[in-house]
Amino acid sequence: MKNTNAYTHKIATGILSFGMSGRVFHAPFIQHHPGFDLVGIVERTKNDAAALYPDATIYQSVDALLQNKAIALVVVNTPTHTHFDFAKKALEAGKHVIVEKAFTTTAAEAKTLTALADSLGLVLSVYQNRRWDSDFSTVLQMIQSKQLGDIHTAAFQFDRFKTQLSVKLHKETPNAGAGLLLDLGPHLIDQALYAFGMPQAVSADIRCLRPHSQVDDDFTIILYYPTLRVTLKSSLLVKEPLPAFVLHGTKGSFIKQRADVQEAALINQAIPFTEQWGEEPATAMGLLHIEKDGQDYSTYIPTLKGNYGAFYEGMYQTIAHQAACLVTGQDGWNVMTIIEAAQKSHAQQSVVNISV
């Protein structure tokens, strides 16, 4: 992190929910970054936030928090189907806004929010924290290094094994924001777009595998580029982890397991922004296997540190010093465009062209 002397003022911040997202992925970074002040948290039924953040005001409604004129930045981390309405309210109240993934439930909603933020001169960002996973950061470095030559095939995979349905009804009851495609899908899609840009076309197969499940819990998406195919896969019924990242190029291959430690550390209430933050175990290094100088060459590549704090550092610099936003509303809109194309492809059993 930069020298704290660079933080000329604190950005008063409010969080709209204190479930896992607020408690694990947002509050610790706001609390421990010298440029932010966590002044408000919405917690409707429980009282967990007050014990952990005694200096913050606990609100029982979103509207009550938004009425606090001192709050400059709002984190919309409520259920996905509420994102559009709450983000719109926050922008109209004059707040900068971070929206959890999935950004919205439709591309049209994403377009509306992006245009509204632009018209009001406010910062609108999407919390795509997994751009700063240790494993993906290393994969991105490998892509940019050109050691693989021209990459022709890539596969990103994010699986879990959860046979039981979630107790959170909004995750398992059919609604515009439910299902795996809008849960883990935005992570995989954003990583692919960040690495390779928007594709020319999309195809997808979306399934419901768990007993008694009413929402999608398994998907495969293929992104079509002129000389590249990127496959994105996720399932809630994969017990044995497969490689999370596979890259094949004209000079060789790179294979990496998913091994980022930040989520587990945050669940265990570790403090971010420390020297060892985001260090993967050495046993999780990715395998590089290429032809080099006419010889077969194989080695393990040290993993870069993960750093979700980079997102909040970027937000501070954007709000306080007008730096370019790291994850824009347009980025969120692009992800929703791919999700809608995937849904259309599955419904029509066809390849869907993307208009950029």
Which pLDDT score, from 0 to 100, does residue 356 have? 67
Last residue of a domain, one of 127, 151, 173: 127
- Asked if pLDDT for residue 5 goes beyond 80, the answer is no
Residue 250 within a domain:
yes
Total domains present in the chain: 2
Domain CATH for 114 = 3.40.50.720
Q: Are 116 and 161 in the same domain?
A: no
Q: Are 148 and 170 in the same domain?
A: yes
- Asked if pLDDT for residue 67 goes beyond 70, the answer is yes
Which pLDDT score, from 0 to 100, does residue 2 have? 47
Q: Which residues, in sequence order, are bridge partners of residue 343?
A: none
Residue 329 within a domain:
no
Is the bond preceding 110 in cis, omega lying within 30 degrees of 0? no
Phi/psi for 311 (5° steps) reads: -65, -50
| Residue pLDDT, tens place only, 140-178 | 999 999 999 999 999 999 999 999 888 887 888 889 999
Last residue of a domain, one of 82, 105, 127: 127
- Asked if pLDDT for residue 4 goes beyond 70, the answer is no
What percent of the chain is predicted at pLDDT more than 70? 98
Q: Are 147 and 79 in the same domain?
A: no
| Residue pLDDT, tens place only, 311-347 | 999 999 999 999 999 999 999 999 999 999 999 999 9
Residue 146 backbone class (left: φ over 0; alpha: ψ -120 to 50; beta: rest): left
The CB density around residue 190, as the number of other CB atoms within 10 Å, is 24
Q: Are 301 and 183 in the same domain?
A: yes
Q: Are 273 and 161 in the same domain?
A: yes
For residue 90, give its domain range.
8-127
Q: Are 112 and 136 in the same domain?
A: no
Give DSSP secondary structure letters for 90-158. Answer: HHHTT-EEEEESS--SSHHHHHHHHHHHHHHT--EEEE-GGGG-HHHHHHHHHHHHTTT-SEEEEEEEE
The CB density around residue 133, as the number of other CB atoms within 10 Å, is 28
| Residue pLDDT, tens place only, 197-241 | 999 999 999 999 999 999 999 999 999 999 999 999 999 999 998
Which pLDDT score, from 0 to 100, does residue 24 have? 97
Residue 20 within a domain:
yes
Last residue of a domain, one of 76, 102, 127: 127
Is residue 184 within 8 Å of residue 215, measured between CB atoms?
A: no
DSSP tag of 181: G
> Which segment of 7-16, 44-53, 67-76, 78-87 scores lowest on mean pLDDT?
44-53
pTM: 0.95
Domain CATH for 149 = 3.30.360.10
Is residue 262 within 8 Å of residue 274, measured between CB atoms?
A: no
